[in-house]
Chain A
Amino acid sequence: MEQNILRLDPKLKLVYVWQQPVRIFHWVNALSILVLCITGYLIGAPLAIQSGTEASFNYWFGVNRAIHFIAAYVFFFNFIFRLYWAFVGNKYSTWNNYVPYKKSQWKAIWEVLKIDIFQLKLGPYETIGHNYLASTTYLATFVAFLLQSLTGFGLYAAMSPSWFPKLFAWFVPLLGGDMAARHIHHLLMWVFILFAMIHIYLVFYHDFIERNGVTSSMIGGWKFIEQHEEEDKDK
């Protein structure tokens, strides 16, 4: 672990980690989730607007819902695109990063937990792409994405004339009806909010302590990786 302790004058190497489609996915996803959470929360708990006017003068709640539905389409197809990219992208973005099917991956998750979360050990734990704790968390978020899409479009099917949401209509009866689907959809919104809080904090944390440029890596795609002397000798 000694060589992993940060030096003040590290030799840094640039690695192109996040390809442009991955970065576009990330920001479209972030933006659509932000819009969906705000409009979704408002759908669940509309503002108390005391208004003396007739209903025919207003449509803000209808507009709010329309924005929610449009953002849902953006979110869903963006998500589908990312699933596609998990099979054609570079080695940092393929599906096998996200599924902890090997024992070594579970060991790595435990290591990251000890170093980054419980801070029992001095770090950093070096990885170029996602560390395995992060990627496993992303797998969980992908399951949440899927559930949110199924419940959301499933509920939307009843009020949409379009054929597309009807493709999801089968899912709602499995849960026992609209009410159950609605509860799950609402609870998952909070999962997204909590995820966003922790996610943003951990990005700050990693950049703060590891100086690998993780924040800007989602803008430019590059990360800084420390080159160790042993590795240099090997080459």
Chain B
Amino acid sequence: MNNKRPTVFEEFKARGYSRREFITFCGLMGAWLGLEASGVSQVVKALETKKRPAIIWLHFQECTCCSESFIRSSHPLVADILLDKISLDYTETLMAAAGHQAEKSLHDTMTNYKGEYILMVEGSIPKKEDGVYCCIGGKSSYDILLEAAEGASAIVAWGSCASNGCVQSASPNPTGATAISKIIKGKPIINVPGCPPIAEVMAGVVVHLLAFDRIPALDSQGRPKAFYSRRVHDSCYRRPNYDAGLFVETFDDENAKKGYCLYKMGCKGPNTYNACGIIRWNNGVSFPIQSGHPCIGCSENNFWDHGPFYQHLKEYPGFGIESTADRIGLGLGIATAAAIGTHAVTTNIRKRKLIMKGRKEIEAEQSNE
């Protein structure tokens, strides 16, 4: 256990990074977070003087793709310094300790830094059958989370699993996988959805927490506004094709070659809030749409339950294979037209009857006169 916590800058230096590299890193972070120029110097100052907060990083129902994404951050400093040092406290995947040692480490961090440490959670919590579907060290993830959240100053929910449940919570959700924000109340929770989230987004969130001692501005779904306020669609380089009505019809057509909009291939970009179109992946090399694949909306709530990835409309299994809203609507339209036709025929018969009755009435009146 490291009792004298160095500042982030001291850790940078100990790792052999120069001040120039440190300033570059701070500048990058400032840009990703959308800070103004003066904000960057704030980041520099904070990382130079402030002690790095204790961090507990828990893994529950997940595939570790968030961690994998994080260590592939374009700037090596992020993963190198932050993640390596994070492992000092507790993280199942990367820490050196194991078994009772690891449990002790977790317990020590929780007691020594009560109310100060940041809890980062990767993965969702299974709630069915008392949480038996995910147990670590003989305790259910539900109990571990409640215990760890108790003394946390803030919680970061990494990835779609922790933010909204991701694939394991897809219908019928056999394990009762639940997002962190639906279990823990009364603590600041930062949702960083994505499967996985972009490495720079994760780094940005961490740096913001380190530098400013408060959580970044969040939107209505608890996501940092700096990265999740715009739709992938609005920052997509193929957007002009959408407005021009130029669409890829099949993956192997001429339009796909020309790089037209993937909207008709089921691209969920218009419904997805993320920074993929701007920050992109792997040091800004590409992102799914740039590689010719429609966005699957991996950072949106329940994206597994919103229909096939390659079509825009949801399917309704009860109505047969490939029933979308349009097919059902058209079917109901035809049924309605048939009903109207039948009704019109019976109405005609009825009208005849009414006319005959009226005629008889008049005849009766005339004969009375």
Chain A contact residues, CB within 8 Å of chain B: 5-9, 44-51, 55-62, 64-65, 117, 119, 122-123, 158-159, 169-170, 173, 176-180, 182-183, 186-187, 189-190, 193-194, 197-198, 201, 205, 208-209
Give the distance in Å from the alpha carbon of A50 to the alpha carbon of B231 in the complex. 27
Contact of B128 with A by CB under 8 A: no
Give the distance in Å from the alpha carbon of A192 to the alpha carbon of B300 in the complex. 28
| B306, A51: Cβ atoms closer than 8 Å | no
| B312, A62: Cβ atoms closer than 8 Å | no
| B300, A177: Cβ atoms closer than 8 Å | yes
Q: Within 8 Å CB of B362, what residues of A?
A: 7-9
Give the distance in Å from the alpha carbon of A60 to the alpha carbon of B333 in the complex. 28
Give the distance in Å from the alpha carbon of A62 to the alpha carbon of B246 in the complex. 11
| B337, A59: Cβ atoms closer than 8 Å | no
For the complex, would chain A's binding face be called helix, strand, loop or mixed by DSSP majority?
helix
| B300, A46: Cβ atoms closer than 8 Å | no
Q: Within 8 Å CB of A8, what residues of B?
A: 355, 358-359, 362
Give the distance in Å from the alpha carbon of A189 to the alpha carbon of B361 in the complex. 48
Give the distance in Å from the alpha carbon of A71 to the alpha carbon of B26 in the complex. 47
Chain B contact residues, CB within 8 Å of chain A: 220-221, 230-231, 234, 240-247, 249, 254-255, 260, 263-264, 268, 270-273, 297, 300-303, 306, 312-314, 325-326, 328-329, 332-333, 336-337, 340, 343-344, 346-347, 350-351, 353-355, 357-359, 361-362
Given the known inter-chain contacts A158-B231, A190-B332, A197-B337, please indicate yes or no for A56 contacting B351, CB distance below 8 A: no
Q: Within 8 Å CB of B242, what residues of A?
A: 61
Q: Within 8 Å CB of B314, what residues of A?
A: 183
Given the known inter-chain contacts A177-B301, A193-B329, A194-B332, please indicate yes or no for A62 contacting B244, CB distance below 8 A: yes
Given the known inter-chain contacts A45-B326, A177-B300, A182-B271, please indicate yes or no for A58 contacting B350, CB distance below 8 A: no
Separation in Å of the B157 CB from the closest CB of chain A? 16
Q: Within 8 Å CB of B231, what residues of A?
A: 158-159, 178
Q: Within 8 Å CB of A57, what residues of B?
A: 244
Contact of B350 among A158, A186, A209 (CB under 8 A): A209
Given the known inter-chain contacts A48-B247, A61-B242, A122-B354, please indicate yes or no for A179 contacting B271, CB distance below 8 A: yes
Contact of A7 among B263, B313, B325, B361 (CB under 8 A): B361
| B297, A205: Cβ atoms closer than 8 Å | no
Give the distance in Å from the alpha carbon of A113 to the alpha carbon of B70 in the complex. 64
| B271, A177: Cβ atoms closer than 8 Å | yes
Separation in Å of the B82 CB from the closest CB of chain A? 30
Which chain A residue has the least Cβ–Cβ distance from B306? A179
Which chain B residue has the least Cβ–Cβ distance from A64? B245
Q: Within 8 Å CB of A7, what residues of B?
A: 358, 361-362
Give the distance in Å from the alpha carbon of A198 to the alpha carbon of B264 in the complex. 31
| A46, B247: Cβ atoms closer than 8 Å | yes
Which chain A residue has the least Cβ–Cβ distance from B303? A179
| B306, A46: Cβ atoms closer than 8 Å | no
| B353, A55: Cβ atoms closer than 8 Å | no
| A50, B240: Cβ atoms closer than 8 Å | no
Give the distance in Å from the alpha carbon of A186 to the alpha carbon of B270 in the complex. 14
Give the distance in Å from the alpha carbon of A193 to the alpha carbon of B329 in the complex. 9
Separation in Å of the B360 CB from the closest CB of chain A? 10
Which chain B residue has the least Cβ–Cβ distance from A173? B220
Q: Within 8 Å CB of A209, what residues of B?
A: 347, 350-351, 354
Contact of A55 among B220, B244, B343 (CB under 8 A): B244
Q: Within 8 Å CB of A190, what residues of B?
A: 325-326, 328-329, 332-333
Which chain B residue has the least Cβ–Cβ distance from A124? B354
Instruction: Identify 8 residue pairs between A and B in the complex whose beta-carbon atoms are under 8 Å apart, listed by A's number.
Output: A48-B264, A49-B245, A60-B244, A119-B343, A119-B347, A170-B220, A198-B340, A205-B344
Q: Within 8 Å CB of A182, what residues of B?
A: 271
| B336, A198: Cβ atoms closer than 8 Å | yes
Q: Within 8 Å CB of B300, what residues of A?
A: 177-179
| A55, B271: Cβ atoms closer than 8 Å | no
Contact of A58 among B246, B312, B325, B357 (CB under 8 A): B246
| B325, A183: Cβ atoms closer than 8 Å | yes
| A197, B221: Cβ atoms closer than 8 Å | no
| A119, B350: Cβ atoms closer than 8 Å | yes
Separation in Å of the B116 CB from the closest CB of chain A? 31
Q: Within 8 Å CB of A169, what residues of B?
A: 220
Contact of A59 among B220, B244, B260, B306 (CB under 8 A): B244
Known: A119-B343, A178-B271, A197-B336; 8 extra A-B contacts, CB below 8 A, are A8-B358, A44-B312, A61-B245, A170-B220, A177-B300, A190-B332, A198-B336, A205-B347
